[in-house]
Amino acid sequence: MSARLPLEHVRATVLTQAWAGAFATRLLADMGAEVIQVEALSRIDPWRGGYPPRLSGTYPDGDGGERPFDRNAAFNSVNTGKKGITLDLNYPEAKDILLDLVSASDIFAENFSARVLPNLGLEYPTLREANPTIILLRMGAYGSNGPYANFMGNGGAIEPMSGITSLLGYRGGPPMNSGVMHSDPFAGLMAMSAMMIALHHRSRAGRGQEIDLSQQETSIGLIADSVMRFSMSGAAPQRRGNFHLRMAPHANYPCRGGDEWVAIAARSDDEWARLCAVMGRPQLASDPRFRDLAGRLANVEALDEIVSEWTRARDKREIADALQSESIPAAAVLDATELSENPQLAERGFFQDIEHPQTGTFPYAGVGWKLSRSSAIRSRPAPTLGQHSRRVLTEHLGMAPVDVDDLWERGITGDTP
């Protein structure tokens, strides 16, 4: 195992904010890139605070303290490993500094609506003047062109705009947004994919390029099957809870205790027969209502009631263990605090303890891949606001400390809003 991280040779200057964009550029930092996050003191990343608690996360002990913007779980979770500087881009000298950073970077990234970059005077031709091989990632809600390009969107808007929301809900019930916004992190994964493709091309051809990612479009990719099904048959999909066209049973069933559930999926008649045996009702396997998939789908409510009867008085983990011992897919539904105790994730070191100067030490979620020869992800805390302003401006750009002091006094850079 080498101590080297794979992207140590890459530098990115990023204006990414909130979730999707910040997560994309966090993945760069995880893999070793130097990621310099630029915020303005007058307009800090909204994930440092300002949203309702459900979306903006929470402070340790419920206490924001003197610098709540440094203690927010939301911001701190998706900006690990980055450097943080502040620059008010409304000042021409700040814009010059940003372009100096661009000239020393491989990637420039942002996730604003399409009107923002032109308003800042930072369109691709300008960036390319500063750095002819720069890779520009733009990943607004609706992409860089088209009638909605200038509209702002967050996960709460993009999920419904991508069709996902129309498919999520209980039988006969209204459409629902998800409990977390799935459009954001998937857009982040796809944006990281795009940046890796662009880096590969640049290493071969010596050319940068502009990437236009629409979070609405990456989200539609998640429901490709429903889009195609509608297009082929004209049949509008129905909301049907956890119902699945090719598996039954297929649901989260109630267990002993309050709000405890177990997920069970039978992929074949054989798995259904084994499930019947585990439930102590082997005769159900030959019941004509349930003998084959078509029957189980047609009688799914009766089927779910039978399985629920068995699960209701039992412990969710014991049920999952009993079914897994018969090779039937099953898992306890874990809440966020139980997740930290998931033995599989623990054994593989998925969570990394990171010490943050303003919050202390907590476990942080890692990434979905492990590399056999490279180091694990870079585990450094998210930057506090403006933490690296002075260092980046003097060390990276060779500015005189007295000039940085001047910017600091004028509020163009600094560490307190």
User: Which residues within the stretch 2-61 sit at the binding site for another protein (CB under 8 A)?
Assistant: 2, 4, 6-7, 9, 19, 23, 27, 31, 47, 50-52, 54, 57-61
Total residues binding another protein (CB under 8 A): 159
Measured CA to CA, the distance from residue 240 to residue 258 in angstroms comes to 24
Establish if 77 lies at the interface with another protein (CB under 8 A): yes
Establish if 372 lies at the interface with another protein (CB under 8 A): yes
Check if the beta carbon of residue 95 is closer than 8 Å to that of residue 38.
no
Establish if 366 lies at the interface with another protein (CB under 8 A): yes
What's the per-residue H, E or C state across 38-104?
EEECCECCHHHCCCCHHHHCCCHHHCCCCCHHHCCHHHHHHCCCCEEEECCCCCHHHHHHHHHHHHC
**Cβ closer to another protein: 58 or 103?**
58
Establish if 163 lies at the interface with another protein (CB under 8 A): yes
Instruction: Name the minimum Å distance from CB 93 to another protein.
Output: 28
Show the tokens assigned to 154.
Answer: 């967050």
Question: Residue 412, CB half-sphere, CA atoms under 13 Å: how many?
Answer: 18
Binding test (CB under 8 A) with another protein, winner from 293, 322, 333, 397: 333
Report long-range pairs for 165-174 (Cβ below 8 Å, ≥24 apart). Answer: 166/237, 166/239, 167/223, 167/226, 167/237, 167/239, 168/239, 169/239, 169/241, 170/239, 170/241, 171/238, 171/239, 171/240, 171/241, 171/243, 172/239, 173/239
**Cβ closer to another protein: 91 or 124?**
124
Establish if 166 lies at the interface with another protein (CB under 8 A): yes
**Cβ closer to another protein: 170 or 401?**
170
**Cβ closer to another protein: 177 or 384?**
177
Establish if 277 lies at the interface with another protein (CB under 8 A): no
Site for another protein in 289-318 (CB under 8 A): none
Binding test (CB under 8 A) with another protein, winner from 160, 381, 383, 386: 160
Binding test (CB under 8 A) with another protein, winner from 39, 88, 106, 159: 159
Establish if 189 lies at the interface with another protein (CB under 8 A): yes
**Cβ closer to another protein: 331 or 412?**
331
Site for another protein in 227-266 (CB under 8 A): 227-233, 236-237, 241-242, 244, 246-247, 250-254, 259, 261-265
φ/ψ of 130, rounded to 5, equals: -70, -35
**Cβ closer to another protein: 180 or 302?**
180
Q: Nearest-CA neighbor of 38 among 81, 103, 78, 94?
A: 94
